[in-house]
Amino acid sequence: MAKTLALPKDQLVQQALSQMQQTLADNTWTDRQKLALTCRILFENGHDSGLAGQITARGPQPGTYYTQQLGLGFDEISAGNLLLVNEDLEVLEGHGMPNPANRFHSWVYRARPDVNCIIHTHPTHVSALSMLEVPLQISHMDLCPLYDDCAFLEGWPGVPVGNEEGELIAGALGNKRAVLLSHHGQLSTGASIEEACVIAQLIERAARLQLLAMAAGEIKPIQPELGREAHDWIARPKRHTAAFNYYVRQNLRRHADCLN
């Protein structure tokens, strides 16, 4: 006999969350390996744009973070060729130079102590949407981790290598997980590398769906209370880790070298 068919939704949600905590696996990769894996995952999912874009994660000491070398594409990043830099973009470990646009990451990290990973990329659909100077519209259940959690910077400040751009982008992000940057791209953040990777994947999918829906007609909004419910249901550390682990399994078939 079934025992749960008469239970209210909130009780079923709590049961499912408890089961997720007990059964969904974590992972044992180092931060360097997770960053390298993230680069390869994003490369395979439309975030590649030549040498544009930066992916960073906080380093072992305050005011430091890991990032990729300028001159290497996302598909060339490995745990061993990442750089450790300080807020002045001076290299503390590794060889080569970081992307000068990493400067605005320092401003975001300073403004958001809760953020441990930042992903800035120029994926095709995000970039196309950014050219229209319209905010991201979240109107599908799968995308709800971004519901009311993606900011919008309408004015393009130019090449983001100055401190002014860092202050502007950090201010536009505010307390949200992501920001769509007009005429530019996207910035996703996370309390973990796994979370930032998943959010970056979602924002490109959201932009693609928005462009498809706008071409067909008027996008209908979802009810705010349901959007918030779905946001809180999906946007959980265990779910982010499970999704990241799945992306890793997909990509290790072609990119096992990135762990070295």
Q: Which CATH class is domain 29-259?
A: alpha beta
Calpha distance 72→41 (Å, rounded):
15
Alpha-carbon span 176 to 160, nearest angstrom: 20
CA distance 258 to 2: 47
Neighbours of 18 (CB within 10 A): 10
Decide the pairing of beta strands 64-67 and 83-86.
antiparallel
pTM of the shown model: 0.95
CA gap 207, 5 in Å, rounded: 37
Domain ranges of the chain: 29-259
Tell me, what amino acid is at 252? L
The radius of gyration computed from the CA coordinates of the chain, to the nearest angstrom, equals: 19
Q: pLDDT tens, position by position, for the chain (260 residues)?
A: 888 998 899 999 899 999 999 999 899 999 999 999 999 999 999 999 989 999 999 999 999 999 999 999 999 999 999 999 999 999 999 999 999 999 999 999 999 999 999 999 999 999 999 999 999 999 999 999 999 999 999 988 878 777 888 999 999 999 999 999 999 999 999 999 999 999 999 999 999 999 999 999 999 999 999 999 999 999 999 999 999 999 999 999 899 999 99
> Looking at residue 6, what DSSP letter applies?
T
**Cα Dmax for the chain:** 65
Q: Are strands 117-121 and 185-190 parallel, antiparallel or unpaired?
A: antiparallel
